[in-house]
Chains A and B, each alone.
Chain A
């Protein structure tokens, strides 16, 4: 079992299936409210992020609105279950706080290098620890 240490985190403890994505995400532009990739130029086009623990680098730049799009996704049951970033921004953090999606960033190792899609991931924001097991 691998362990990652974060500098920052908020939200409840959660366990779920990891989905790793190195193509920066803007939730409002790249995903529908039901959590399906809607941007043909994005790596996750046509894929679902609903209920996944997303393993990400940093938010896509442009509008800060991306964090607020999480509200729409949560209302439409399309939101991810957890957010793990190497470096996030306050707008996405606030979107996660408003929707009770656990979020953590600033890890001792780059999460996208250590975690693989399909891994079982447990986020413990209070303890600032992420535990990773291979898929069952």
Chain B
């Protein structure tokens, strides 16, 4: 790998121990993949190690702090395990909250911006087309690459940390022009009619495409909204098969003014047709009839228009006394929702509105207490897929339904 003088000096320790160690590891990763060089990034985004589980990663953060580590670029953060505005609302103990704060303190001391959201692009962190970044948040990868036309790889927690410290990432995978060329034609036989169908579409595509597929949609509707794409991208990033990190659609994604441009003049290597039955089969993966316990909206965190939408669906309704209904968003969007009156409407209906958190980062004890053995209904493909396994086996059962059906389940207490 060809290193710049600045990089050589960093490796020699001229910018401190933390950056020297960090760059050494990133260079080794780049060398494994034959990266020609490193590339400078403009943003990094960090996700939190799970308290009580990812102890070694947490220790690594403290180690970087001890070695004088400071972030070189604007570094935003993923959701925490509790809502900083209402920490005990889900019954998380003070003791657990104290344990959770260790990571928060470490990243803040190194200069992080506490966006506390998986939707950093709606919290003031917006990469421009062509900008190189290093994001550790699986739902954001295809959003950054496809919708924004910026460039990120699927980072791990530690590669993103080390990139934040050094301001660099190996020039490989999606940072290289040749790897951004579309290679798979995707035709939608039916245009998604519900929000959740975008989630289901993402889940389906991860079942039928290999990890190096770069889909080019021939007929994505020109009316598609960013939050619909957010949902598809979340499922593409954490789906039922290898993640898809980049796709194109003529007139919609910045690198595809035309379909030919998306393919860079080459022929697709494969063609996929998505039928209505393909989408229906995704819903059939979670059949349930009976009472439910938890209702979840907000994986990824809801956008302002989605907050308005869900609020209007709960207007003049009342959440059943045997369920707990959560609407989760970023602190930035929550602020706007408060001022716009959406939060009040939701709370009037008995919904708990949470910000800056994700139940997937709950420590095992709290995960068991709050979600153990429960039935959770969600309109999020990623949450349906991820929640049962990421907290370890606490016996959580998740059901995927359309947004309307989830509201009905909240009000009736059953499916």
Contact = CB atoms under 8 A, between A and B. Distances in A.
For A10, A63, A75, which residue has the most chain B Cβ atoms within 10 angstroms? A63
Interface string B25-65: 10011011110000000000000000001111100100000
Interface in B107-158: 138, 153-158
B386 A71 contact: no
Nearest to B31: A10
A9 B55 CA distance: 28
A64 to B, nearest CB: 5
A75 B55 CA distance: 9
A72 B56 contact: yes
A91 B55 contact: no
B238 A93 contact: no
A63 B360 CA distance: 12
A interface majority secondary structure: helix
A95 B156 contact: yes
Interface residues of B, number: 35
Given A63-B238, A91-B156, A10 B32 contact: yes
Nearest to A9: B32
B33 A91 contact: no
A72 B52 CA distance: 11
Q: Which of B56, B243, B386 has the most CB of A within 10 A?
A: B56
Given A71-B60, A72-B55, A98-B158, A63 B25 contact: no
Contact of A64 (B33, B56, B243): B243
B57 A90 contact: no
A13 interface: no
Interface string A1-31: 0000000111000000000000000000100
Given A8-B33, A61-B239, A90 B54 contact: no
A71 B211 CA distance: 24
Contact of A68 (B157, B386, B390): B157
A94 B154 contact: no
Interface size of A as a range: 20 to 34
A90 B158 CA distance: 12
B403 interface: no
B241 interface: yes
Contacts of A61: 206, 211, 239-243
B55 A90 contact: no
Given A62-B238, A68-B157, A10 B243 contact: no
B47 to A, nearest CB: 9
Interface of B: 25, 28-29, 31-34, 53-57, 60, 138, 153-159, 172-173, 206, 211, 238-243, 385-386, 389-390
For the complex of A and B, 7 pairs with smallest distance between CB atoms: A71-B56, A91-B156, A75-B56, A61-B242, A97-B28, A10-B32, A61-B241
19 contacts: A8-B33, A10-B31, A61-B211, A62-B238, A63-B386, A64-B243, A65-B157, A68-B54, A68-B157, A72-B54, A72-B55, A75-B55, A90-B173, A93-B32, A93-B33, A94-B29, A94-B158, A94-B159, A97-B25
Given A72-B55, A90-B33, A90-B159, 13 more contacts: A8-B32, A10-B32, A61-B206, A62-B389, A63-B238, A64-B156, A89-B242, A90-B32, A90-B156, A90-B173, A91-B159, A93-B32, A97-B32
